[in-house]
Structure formats: C-alpha cells, structure tokens
Structure 1
C-alpha cells in the first residue's frame, strides 16, 4: 500500500457506522444501530495478512451494512500526534481504500482503560478478557463519537488529511 493519501470521502449523516480500535495484535470492532443511538461491541479481527484483514473488513461492511468507519486515533494528552498515531492513520487509509467507505479518525484516549473498567465486574479469565477488551474499547470509542456528534454542529474527529494539534511525533 502506498503512503499517498486517498481523497477523504464524505462522511454519511445516516446509517450504521463502525468503530475500530486498531492494535498491532488485534483490531476491535463495534457498531451502532442505523439511528446512531446504541453502540455494541461486535468482533475482534486478528492482525494478519492484509489480504485476510481486507476480506474480513469488507465482509463486516457488507453484512452489517456499514456506511462509514471511525478509527481510534491515539494522541498525547497535549493533543499532539505520536508514532502510534502514524500507524492508526496508515491503517485508516488502508481501510478506506479496501472497503471504499469513508473513514474518520477520532481521539481514543482512555478507551482501553474505560473498557477494562466495564469488564472488571464480569470476572472473565485473562484469556476471556483479552478476547473482549478490544471490541469493548471500540464500543467506548463509538459511544464517544456518537455523543460528540450529538452536541456539535460539525462532524467530530479528523478526516484522513487533517492533522491533530501540533506536529510533534514522539513517544
């Protein structure tokens, strides 16, 4: 895949959207209902060959009737981008090119911590927790996006060509 930026596609104002918690081992996915009220964890896609991932995401888009994607964007508390931000941005571009659906980047700070808190009462084993945490983190991300969208006049998050505050890339 080239690093050349695809042109951002217009983000739909209606229809189901899916959030993605991108990770180097697992990719959590959550979806909302067509009215964009309720977000639910859906699945975890293992990192693997791009072709297998591509098939998995295209199948999800088709089966779940996804109109657009939200990709978690890991930025520092200061709002500056990090090395992980570059990876998430690269994945978001790949996702848009692969599924031909619009993608928005959205601040994912604290989503995994919030997911961990939600799973704490469930008494899952470590193995069970690992299987669910990424999809629940994607649910937290999607809930945050939907809430922000309800209270803003403009679309929350960033398009694929927008930059976060500042331009520092450090970890």
Structure 2
C-alpha cells in the first residue's frame, strides 16, 4: 500500500514498530531509522545506487535486519506543491519496493536537503564530510517529519 496520508499509513501499520526513511536520489539512497516508539529518527546509511535489483536487495536486507514495519519515502515536489521532474521516478521507486509487503508513505521532502546542508554548514563540516552525510541526514529529516505528524 502506497499512501500520501499519514492517517492511512498509520492505520496500515500492524503495530508501532521501526520505520525506515528513504531519501531517493539519482546516485544514492539515504536511509534513516526510527525507534519502535516513533520518538526519534536517526541516520543509518547511504546506499550507492546501482541497478534496481541491487538497490532492492540492499534495502530488503536492511528491512529484515532492522525489523522495519513501514517505509517513509521522500517525495521531491516543487515549491508550489506540484510534481517535479524527479517525482515520477520516486513514485516508480515506491511502486517497485511495494512487493516488500510494507506500508509506504510518500512524504513531502521539500527543503530537507537544504535544511540538512545548512545545519552541516553551521557545524563547519567540510565539503567531503557534507557529501558523506547529507543523504542519510536528509532521510532522517524526512522520517522525523513524518513521525511527528503521526503522533
């Protein structure tokens, strides 16, 4: 089940449990996880994109190892809320991971990367360090926004 509604997503979850947040890019997938009580999202890892079958295998292994109950996928919308050029590819990605059997929430990710980048700049992180962290931190930002909306 793919939904843009936090209520529908929450209702589709069997019980509270760990959620994974995904920031799907063209070259990487940032991954974040939250605790089973939906208190805080934490960055987990950055997956370098390859063929979808390889990406899916890595995600499936992470979902199984971390006992993930649902996926929150950042949806890259334009500032006016309309679909961006990347929106269609992220929706296709969501359809492709739907066979995992987990509820999927498409969450507006506008400003997530910019907010994280600003925080890293404020922390005086080097360009290399920012590149290393930005995707998984953006995934945590996306996931935290979704869990805050569901509580």
State the TM-score, normalized to the length of structure 1.
0.78
Q: Distance in 1 between matches of 2:125 and 2:81?
A: 34
1:86-105 aligned at under 5 Å gives the runs 86-97=88-99, 99-105=100-106
State the TM-score, normalized to the length of structure 2.
0.87
In structure 1, the residue matched to 2:47 is: 45
Q: Distance in 1 between matches of 2:97 and 2:2?
A: 12
Q: Taking CA–CA contacts closer than 8 Å with sequence separation of 6 or more, which of the two structures ends up with the larger relative contact order? A: 2
Contact 2:2–2:94 (CA under 8 A) maintained in structure 1: no
Q: Distance in 1 between matches of 2:2 and 2:112?
A: 25
In structure 2, the residue matched to 1:54 is: 56
Q: What is the aligned counterpart of 1:83 among 60, 82, 85?
A: 85
TM-superposed deviation, 1:8: 4.2
1:2-17 aligned at under 5 Å gives the runs 8=2, 11-12=12-13, 13-17=15-19
TM-superposed deviation, 1:85: 0.8
Q: Distance in 2 between matches of 1:117 and 1:78?
A: 22
TM-superposed deviation, 1:82: 2.0
| Structure 1: segments with no counterpart, 5+ residues | 1-6, 151-171
Contact 2:71–2:105 (CA under 8 A) maintained in structure 1: yes
Q: Distance in 1 between matches of 2:36 and 2:104?
A: 17
TM-superposed deviation, 1:32: 0.4
In structure 1, the residue matched to 2:118 is: 117
| Structure 2: segments with no counterpart, 5+ residues | 4-8
More strand by share: 2
Equivalenced residues, count: 143
Structural RMSD (CA): 1.6
Contact 2:2–2:106 (CA under 8 A) maintained in structure 1: no
Q: How big is each residue's C-alpha offset from its partner over 1:71-120, in whole Å with a ceiling of 9 and x where there is no partner?
A: 101112222112211011011111222x2222110100000011112222
SS of equivalent to 2:61: helix
Pair 1:67 & 2:69 matched: yes
Larger CA Rg, structure 1 vs 2: 1
